[in-house]
Structure 1
């Protein structure tokens, strides 16, 4: 069934400044509607639901106008991205990634140029990417290695003057190698740079302006992006966090900070809500914790390759039960009283 996508008295998309801010959740809804209509799978009831959705909120209409702007400039959007959105199986990783990227375009204002500055876009186009739940090792041109933890992305930029890793998203374990040219080795993050000094270290970009660093061997120098005169040295056995404007005081490195590189999550008297938040990084969807049991403590070594097994083990060790609503929505709750 063909459908005219211009609905109501709406002008062509005029630009970001003239439209309301579109939250990511609404942008995703618009992308899902666009995919359904473009695939011509919508019957008259779905078309009516689409019109009702647009009429329900001016922000919905703004999101749709941005989708129409994208439709009018598909030459700017990478062909594989559009093809994956329309043709890939609904539950496939390819479809999920394409929807995520199209959503980033809508949030950015309907322009690919703006979306290219977003983390999802930069991760999609990165040199090396790990899937959720995956750890993978990448050999570097100088003989060193970098291991990517779950849902991570990096670019490798080595030239005659510098060796640079750009951490786009996630967490990495870097093992440097001696360099005959004595080029500096840097990890660039949104918060600033980490310069290696003959070392083995981890870098975790928690969000756009919060980066954690732990040194296993050697030392590193931290330089915040907006305070370049501030240089802090971190020695082996130390860890810290830094932002664009400063560096926190160093603390002792957790002995299990790099256990993920061996496929394990090691907890020692960890709060249950913190444990589940960490475990949730290694599976898709929502892994929630009822506030009533958030303070229960978890200790032990848990395999990251089998999250369902880990959750099952919690029900044996703690007074909790696991409620699975869908494959992507799981909550841990207090165990119900029997009898």
Structure 2
């Protein structure tokens, strides 16, 4: 098992990589980066791991037989490359735990049938089976009438046929015809898979557990072996489809975790203000404006570095 790296050190390494790849850095930046790498062995270790991941990504892309797949990384814009870099902190932690970078992140984000970038939402029409709306950082694969949700969140409206199933890491969700439901996996503070039935019905089958049935207005979280207790779907469940985050006495740290999914870069919260209660409506399409709005309603301010790293601290 690889040595664990502190999140703070990984974020610093990310910041240096983004700075040096921005196209505007000079000799002073390169010298300062080298000084940072020399300061501590963990700095150099973090640098080497992230650089190694970028090399693996390029090598994996070149190994693909389809020319279109090889062109995908070459065609990505600078902001998109920074979006990919944002996930490297998690990648390095996953790598330290022995997880496969290519299996966990590279394939879902880059080579799924449909995927969304940071801040992007997308509608997908499924032939004769229904319609999808994909949230930011979502990846799915389509296999006939079945879907695989690798990460993220989607809203599914099934057609009159209704003969389809959605696979996640934790099991299967089988909606009935003419149903609307939200399925999510890997969202902040959400272990396992969550299913929210807006209308219609669905069956849920954990990989190694007992299946159960959900009715309209019910939601539940489940993992591969068991499910939680069903509860009522909140009235704000669909707000993200309109680009909104509705907070009702939500801890500031949780609000920032939600905004972070829609913002390019790294967004952090000082522990001293993490528990502040937030109520209001915030734009997911304009996360920087939402951060500024928070400074108007709470005793906080935002420290920004290069427009990439943002930390919410006491005012």
Which TM-score band (shorter chain)?
0.7 to 0.9
User: Contact 1:22–1:62 (CA<8 Å) still a contact in 2?
Assistant: no
Provide closer, same or farther for how the CA distance between residues 322 and 126 of structure 1 changes in structure 2, counting only shifts above 3 A. Answer: same
Partner of 1:225: 207
Partner of 2:252: 272
Aligned-pair CA distance for 1:61: 11
Unpaired runs of at least 5, structure 2: none
- Equivalent-residue separation in structure 2 for 1:151 and 1:245 (angstroms): 26
List aligned pairs for 1:254-333, cutoff 5 A. 254-316=234-296, 318-326=297-305, 327-333=307-313
User: Contact 1:149–1:170 (CA<8 Å) still a contact in 2?
Assistant: yes
| CA RMSD, Structure 1 to Structure 2 (Å) | 4.4
- Equivalent-residue separation in structure 2 for 1:205 and 1:237 (angstroms): 19
Partner of 2:80: 93
Partner of 1:169: 151
Pick the aligned partner of 2:174 from 183, 195, 198. Answer: 195
Question: Deviations for 1:273-311, whole angstroms, at most 9, x for unmatched residues?
Answer: 222222222112222223333333222222222122222
Provide closer, same or farther for how the CA distance between residues 225 and 144 of structure 1 changes in structure 2, counting only shifts above 3 A. Answer: same
SS at match of 1:166: strand
Provide closer, same or farther for how the CA distance between residues 225 and 271 of structure 1 changes in structure 2, counting only shifts above 3 A. Answer: same
Question: Deviations for 1:211-244, whole angstroms, at most 9, x for unmatched residues?
Answer: 11111001111111122xx001111111111111
User: Computing the radius of gyration over CA atoms, which structure comes out larger, 1 or 2?
Assistant: 1
Partner of 1:119: 105
SS at match of 1:309: helix
Provide closer, same or farther for how the CA distance between residues 307 and 100 of structure 1 changes in structure 2, counting only shifts above 3 A. Answer: closer
Residue 211, structure 1, aligned to residue 190, structure 2:
no
List aligned pairs for 1:71-110, cutoff 5 A. 76=63, 79-80=70-71, 83=74, 91-94=78-81, 96-97=83-84
Aligned-pair CA distance for 1:167: 0.5
Pick the aligned partner of 1:136 from 112, 115, 122. Answer: 122
Q: Which moved more, 1:268-277 or 1:129-138?
A: 268-277
Partner of 1:240: 220
How many residue pairs match? The answer is 297
User: Contact 2:109–2:137 (CA<8 Å) still a contact in 1?
Assistant: no
SS at match of 2:176: strand
TM-score normalized by structure 1? 0.70
- Equivalent-residue separation in structure 1 for 2:34 and 2:293 (angstroms): 43
User: Contact 1:20–1:59 (CA<8 Å) still a contact in 2?
Assistant: no
User: Contact 2:80–2:117 (CA<8 Å) still a contact in 1?
Assistant: no
Residue 186, structure 1, aligned to residue 165, structure 2:
yes
Provide closer, same or farther for how the CA distance between residues 330 and 193 of structure 1 changes in structure 2, counting only shifts above 3 A. Answer: same
Structure having greater relative contact order (Cα 8 Å, sep ≥ 6): 2
- Equivalent-residue separation in structure 2 for 1:83 and 1:151 (angstroms): 20
- Equivalent-residue separation in structure 1 for 2:3 and 2:222 (angstroms): 30
Unpaired runs of at least 5, structure 1: 1-18
TM-score normalized by structure 2? 0.75
Provide closer, same or farther for how the CA distance between residues 185 and 64 of structure 1 changes in structure 2, counting only shifts above 3 A. Answer: closer
Aligned-pair CA distance for 1:119: 2.9
